[in-house]
Amino acid sequence: MAARPAKREPVTRPVRARTPRAAQDELNVSIRKQSVSDVIARSLEEDIVLGRRYPRERLVEQDLCERFKTHRGDVRLALFELEKKGIIQRIPNRGAIVRDLTPKEVREIYAVREELEVMAIRILPFPVAKSDLDQLAELQREHSAAIDVGDLLTVFYSNLHFHQMLFGLCSNTCLIEAIELLAQKTYGIRSYANAFPEALDQARRDHIEMIEALRASRRDDLIALARRHLKPSQEAYIRAYERRFGDTNLAIRILAK
Amino acid sequence: MAARPAKREPVTRPVRARTPRAAQDELNVSIRKQSVSDVIARSLEEDIVLGRRYPRERLVEQDLCERFKTHRGDVRLALFELEKKGIIQRIPNRGAIVRDLTPKEVREIYAVREELEVMAIRILPFPVAKSDLDQLAELQREHSAAIDVGDLLTVFYSNLHFHQMLFGLCSNTCLIEAIELLAQKTYGIRSYANAFPEALDQARRDHIEMIEALRASRRDDLIALARRHLKPSQEAYIRAYERRFGDTNLAIRILAK
DNA sequence: CCAATCTGGATTGTTTACAATATAGTTTGA
DNA sequence: TCAAACTATATTGTAAACAATCCAGATTGG
């Protein structure tokens, strides 16, 4: 008779010791294998942030399957993720559309983000290590060069990395994640700011000043810079929104058809 | 010959007017039909917060299917949601376990939450309408009564509703959601605080003082109360954690087996 | 007696097929 | 002529079957 097979878990034990492999995984948190749906989600984010997809544009599952050469399961999961992040909106039985933020929502998101970025700078330990400053400067050069040649994709990513590195200097992981999540919520409106070359230029100058403030351990200056740095993109969006609709009432009339 | 059928979308238009029904859905944001996976996720959250499921306990998809009388698709989605919220942890090919937070993570989460709650109180418009104060008082009575009879489920929900109502008074939706998300991250450790009856008593007194501060429009007092209110549960968890493991190194040794 | 290997089955991950829903264009009736 | 009902299909939602992975205990070799 065949040997009595293993039962992986007696199903009753409430608390149970972790197996060796699981413990290893938990301790080495860095080994984050990214799933297919994550890749799809990121790619769609990129499309949205670069203005290749517009607010209220439909995202049809079948189309995405063909584009990413996969089945609908992964695509659906990616759409659920993006919905939770607030980048797209899903309507039951009707599908997903790129989310269109109102000026009020944009202002609220930026207010919270400002609060958290200021907090990050407040708890950030000074002085900052030279190696960190060098890395930041390198990312800044990358950003600057991308602006010069008009490579918006690289502008986006080097800017993202610059900010991740900057706020990553504060040691509160939860705070870092919260800041990033809020930044993602406004991906859909970024392309409006990119349309103004002078805004990109201002961002570049801000980054340089930020590095200087970090080097000199001038916390208050850095806070003021961070606050100022957040202003242009939200203002660009609100201006564009009002140009589109004139005023909020008109917007509602149009959207309701 | 059959009539030429409709093609729902020409597939090419980048920006497209919304259909009447879709617009209606967007404007009436209150009609949030909750999906099956949301129900499952909430129920699991409840189990965790009430200590019915312990940190590192496994969550097997098939078991959950039977419990919620559904197929694995919904259960899987719920688990993905909970993972994103940070309430559970998923290990590829091995399944999901209730997440076990380290004291460091708990401190970080509470630090961010405190920052946001203080912000909410700072922007909250005074004076508060009498009807709102009455509602808060009603929720507080419910909470107090639940403590008296030891009904922890009602304690949890009435406490939740009290805080939702309180922070809901600030008009920044994004901020309200962020506060709630952070509160959810610590669901797994709530049962530790509930184990100390004096902590529940303190919470009850805090709520009463908060309502008084609101009624008198004493913003600074309210901020101090909110800060104080967050302390006990994180301290209870950290104490319990250290009782379990003595110190962090021991914890790591045990977890790694 | 210990360690390396093997193996059965428990569990998660993927794919496909099928059902439900909503909409654009057509038809029908006043 | 216009609006209400109808129909065909695009699209999403659900379910179940199949494949890949992983571990507990058994087996094997030293």
For Cα atoms B114, B119, B124, give the angle at the middle one, nearest 5 degrees: 130
Task: State residue B245's pLDDT score.
Answer: 63
CB pairs under 8 A between A and B: 134
Tens digit of each residue's pLDDT (9 = 90 or more) over B175-234: 999 999 999 888 877 777 777 888 899 999 999 999 999 999 999 999 999 999 999 888
DSSP string, A142-165: HHHHHHHHT-HHHHHHHHHHHHHH
Task: State residue A166's pLDDT score.
Answer: 97
Cβ atoms within 10 Å of A86's Cβ, excluding its own: 20
Tell the burial category of A232 from Cβ atoms under 10 Å away from its Cβ (0-12, 13-18, 19+).
middle
Q: Which of A174, A175, A177, A185 to mutate to test the interface with B (most CBs of B within 10 A)?
A: A174
Question: Is the per-residue pLDDT at B115 higher than 90?
Answer: yes
Report CA-CA distances (Å) from A93 to A43, A55, A90, A96.
24, 19, 9, 9
Task: State residue B29's pLDDT score.
Answer: 36
Residue of A nearest to B104 (CA): A172
Which chain B residues in 34-63 sit with Cβ < 7 A of strand C? 58-62
Answer whether B150's CB lies under 8 Å from B248's CB: no
- Provide the shortest C-alpha distance from residue B53 to chain A (in Å): 7
Per-domain boundaries in chain B: 22-98, 103-253
In angstroms, rounded to a whole number, what is the distance separating the alpha carbons of residues A50 and A187? 8
Task: State residue B196's pLDDT score.
Answer: 80
Report CA-CA distances (Å) from B149 to A7, B143, B197.
42, 10, 12
Which of A16, A58, A89 lies closest to B57 in CB terms?
A16
DSSP string, B158-214: HHHHHHHHHHHTS--HHHHHHHHHHHHHTGGGHHHHHT-HHHHHHHHHHHHHHHHHH
Tokens of A117: 């970025």
Residue type, A182: L
Answer whether A121's CB lies under 8 Å from A219's CB: yes
- Provide the shortest C-alpha distance from residue B98 to chain A (in Å): 10
Give yes or no for CB of A217 within 7 Å of strand C.
Answer: no
Mean pLDDT of chain B: 82
Distance C8 C1' – A5 CA (angstroms): 5
Which chain B residues in 71-100 sit with Cβ < 7 A of strand C? 72, 76, 90, 92-96
Among candidate residues A213, A205, A204, the one with its CA nearest the CA of residue A128: A213
Beta-bridge mates of residue A89: A97
Cα(first)–Cα(last) distance of chain A, in Å?
A: 73
Question: Which nucleotide, over all strands, has the C1' atom closest to the CA of B65?
Answer: D15
* B125: confidence class by pLDDT, cuts 50, 70, 90: very high
CA A26, chain centre distance (Å): 25
Helix, strand, coil percentages, rounded to 5, for chain B: 70, 5, 25
| CB contact (8 A) between residue B108 and residue A174 | yes
Q: Which residues contact A163 (CB under 8 A, 6 or more apart)?
A: A179, A183
Question: HSE (CB half, 13 Å, CA atoms) of A46?
Answer: 12
Which of A56, A109, A252 lies closest to B16 in CB terms?
A56
Tens digit of each residue's pLDDT (9 = 90 or more) over A186-216: 888 887 777 788 889 999 999 999 999 999 9
DSSP string, B96-128: EEE----HHHHHHHHHHHHHHHHHHHHHPPSSP
Task: State residue A236's pLDDT score.
Answer: 87
Considering only CA atoms, name the residue closest to the C1' of nucleotide D7: B5
Residue of B nearest to A185 (CA): B174
Tens digit of each residue's pLDDT (9 = 90 or more) over B58-73: 999 999 998 988 989 9
Which residues of chain A fall short of a pLDDT of 50? 1-32, 248-257
Answer whether A117's CB lies under 8 Å from A210's CB: no
Reduce the DSSP state of residue A90 to 3 states and report it. Answer: strand
- Provide the shortest C-alpha distance from residue A248 to chain B (in Å): 13
Distance C2 C1' – B153 CA (angstroms): 51
Cβ atoms within 10 Å of A99's Cβ, excluding its own: 22
Tens digit of each residue's pLDDT (9 = 90 or more) over A113-149: 999 999 999 999 999 999 999 999 999 999 999 999 9
Domain covering B103-253 assigned CATH 1.10.15.40 in the classification: no
State which nucleotides on strand D lie below 7 Å from a protein beta carbon: 7-17, 20-27
Tokens of A184: 């993602």
Task: State residue A34's pLDDT score.
Answer: 67
Considering only CA atoms, name the residue closest to the C1' of nucleotide D15: B71
For Cα atoms A168, A219, A159, give the angle at the middle one, nearest 5 degrees: 40
Instruction: Look at B77 and B14; give whichever has higher pLDDT.
Output: B77
Mean pLDDT of the region B127-154 = 95
In angstroms, rounded to a whole number, what is the distance separating the alpha carbons of residues A225 and B95? 44
Task: State residue B178's pLDDT score.
Answer: 96
Mean pLDDT of the region B127-142 = 96
- The CATH number given to A22-98 is 1.10.10.10
Q: Which residues contact B255 (CB under 8 A, 6 or more apart)?
A: A18, A23, A26, A27
Q: Which residues contact A96 (CB under 8 A, 6 or more apart)?
A: A58, A59, A79, A82, A83, A88, A89, A90
